[in-house]
């Protein structure tokens, strides 16, 4: 690897603790390479170690009991509105900082910033409206339920959607009166560090309310087991989610929200809107180069239209290959490229490749959008999350067969049903073992509705008012 990526903006590589950019207690420095051309972005990234985690927790506790405690709910709502304005003001910078390390098209990252703006505005409206409850005093006791903040919370975020995921955790946490320590992925730390610094430097939040500790799994483990942290919200792999839940239980039984992997099924029935089904099926596996937890990577097509649909879908995916490097970015880095390739090495001969199935070019981390037809039901390619633009296609006869195939998975994050029969749609929505079901759409989420999975796809929900519950503890007050 040679050369350096041109820098449009200054790259933050330090930790952000108690209102200041500070050096890690570790002298180790780490590097990131641009997956488009393999040039060096920086080799000076610092990771937080135990002393840094302790310092951040102490600063968070001081802010929680000090200036932040004095903010009324309405004042917290105003803070969130100002954070939304801050995102817009620094849109170009933040989008570049988060897009560059993983080769994501900047236009896509700018859309993520816009989503972050919507998230902050949404929860700004909730800040003074997440009210308690009371029950009748017919038994001589007045019963009041208060929603109280958990305290010091932590968001451990993924690399595939760093800005939007940061906002999904930070906004409801702040709206309900918590403070948050953010640990971005070691692959995409820059935007989160910069945002925390901007928010504090602008005086929107007091020092210690938003802090950033870049690092790898070791940093995440320190946060998950820290006795001063009361809540972890994690988005990432099933394996890491299990370790976080174990650490949380073994330490102080901190609350945990886990949004984990998926192998989402989608059914194409013969009465579907054909063009709509092709559009969503293509988008579902190619948006963010297939690096999305809710990607519809298991596609089931009814036998009567299988030939026609698969032909159209194949042509749509071929066009996506032509867009590699422009509208479609690379995989996140060399390790992700190797991960995707390894599935094909282990499961060679267990499926028919209709299009793609290989690295694109000899420079950068590009993988061709891929359709696998009729894979072996026990193949890893079919059963495990690949996290790339790879979709498995099988045919089915009727609703019963589709449900059997769709629910035969340890994942349950997203599902799709394409049909114009509303009765069928609602029957299947009830029977699919999935946290979200799209009717005539798939791999789509909406801020106003809860998002999360069943089985090993996660614990708890993000988005909507359901996220507020994850950052508060109900307290019952009984009055005689």
Instruction: Give catalytic residue positions.
Output: 259
255 - beta bridge partners?
231
Residue 255 DSSP label: E
First-last CA distance in the chain: 73
Residues 6+ apart with CB under 8 A from 338: none
Rounded (10°) angle between helices 190-201 and 73-89: 120
Distance CA 296, CA 173 (A): 30
Distance CA 264, CA 297 (A): 6
Residue 23 vs residues 17, 28, 46, 93: alpha-carbon distances, Å = 10, 11, 7, 22
Closest CA to 104 of 236, 289, 341: 289
CB 337 within 8 A of CB 331: yes
Residues in the chain: 480
Secondary structure (3-state) at 35: coil
Distance CA 346, CA 267 (A): 27
Q: Which residue in this structure is represented by tokens 């999350």?
A: 385
Q: Which residue in this structure is represented by tokens 């959008």?
A: 369
Secondary structure (3-state) at 147: strand
Q: Which residue in this structure is represented by tokens 């903010």?
A: 71
CB 212 within 8 A of CB 182: yes
Q: DSSP strand E in 230-269: where?
A: 231-235, 255-259, 265-268
CA angle 114–287–322, rounded 5-degree value:
120
Distance CA 69, CA 63 (A): 8
> Within a 13 Å sphere around the CA of 381, how many CA atoms are in the beta-carbon half?
29
Distance CA 462, CA 32 (A): 30
417 - beta bridge partners?
267, 439
Cα torsion through 58, 64, 65, 67, rounded to 10:
110
User: What stretches of 177-236 show up as alpha helix (H) in DSSP?
Assistant: 190-201, 217-225
């Amino acid at each position: 690897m040679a050369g350096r990526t041109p820098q449009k903006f200054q790259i933050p590589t330090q930790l952000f603790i108690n209102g200041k950019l500070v050096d890690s207690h570790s002298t180790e420095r780490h590097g990131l390479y641009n997956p488009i051309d393999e040039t060096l972005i920086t080799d000076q990234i610092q990771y937080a170690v135990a002393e840094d985690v302790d310092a951040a927790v102490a600063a968070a506790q001081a802010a929680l009991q000090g200036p932040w405690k004095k903010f009324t709910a309405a004042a917290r709502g105003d803070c969130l509105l100002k954070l939304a304005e801050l995102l817009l003001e620094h849109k170009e910078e933040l989008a570049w900082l988060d897009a560059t390390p993983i080769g994501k098209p900047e236009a896509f990252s700018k859309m993520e910033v816009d989503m972050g703006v919507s998230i902050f505005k949404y929860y700004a409206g909730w800040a003074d409206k997440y009210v308690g409850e009371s029950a009748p005093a017919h038994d001589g006791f007045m019963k009041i339920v208060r929603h109280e903040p958990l305290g010091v919370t932590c968001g451990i975020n993924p690399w595939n959607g760093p800005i939007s995921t940061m906002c999904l955790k930070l906004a409801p946490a702040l709206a309900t009166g918590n403070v948050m320590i953010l640990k971005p992925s070691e692959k995409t730390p820059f935007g989160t560090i910069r945002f925390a610094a901007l928010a504090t430097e602008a005086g929107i939040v007091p020092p210690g309310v938003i802090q950033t500790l870049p690092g790898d799994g070791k940093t995440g483990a320190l946060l998950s087991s820290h006795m001063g942290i009361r809540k972890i919200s994690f988005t990432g792999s099933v394996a890491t989610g299990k370790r976080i839940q174990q650490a949380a239980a073994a330490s102080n039984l901190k609350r945990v929200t886990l949004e984990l992997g998926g192998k989402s099924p989608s059914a194409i029935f013969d009465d579907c809107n054909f063009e709509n089904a092709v559009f969503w099926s293509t988008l579902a596996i190619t948006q963010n180069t297939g690096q999305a937890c809710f990607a519809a990577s298991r596609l089931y097509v009814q036998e009567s239209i299988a030939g026609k649909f698969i032909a159209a879908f194949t042509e749509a995916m071929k066009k996506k290959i032509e867009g590699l490097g422009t509208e479609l970015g690379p995989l996140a880095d060399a390790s992700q490229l190797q991960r995707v390739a390894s599935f094909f090495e282990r499961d060679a001969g267990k499926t028919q490749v209709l299009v793609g199935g290989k690295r694109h070019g000899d420079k950068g981390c590009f993988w061709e959008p891929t359709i696998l037809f009729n894979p072996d039901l026990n193949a890893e390619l079919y059963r495990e999350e690949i996290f790339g633009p790879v979709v498995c296609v099988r045919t089915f006869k009727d609703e019963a067969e589709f449900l059997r195939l769709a629910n035969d998975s340890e994942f349950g994050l997203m599902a799709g049903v394409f049909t114009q029969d509303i009765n069928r749609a609602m029957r299947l929505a009830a029977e699919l073992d999935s946290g979200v079901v799209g009717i005539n759409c798939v791999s789509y989420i909406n801020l106003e509705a809860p998002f999360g999975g069943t089985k090993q796809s996660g614990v708890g929900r993000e988005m909507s008012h359901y996220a507020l519950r994850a950052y508060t503890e109900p307290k019952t007050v009984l009055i005689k």
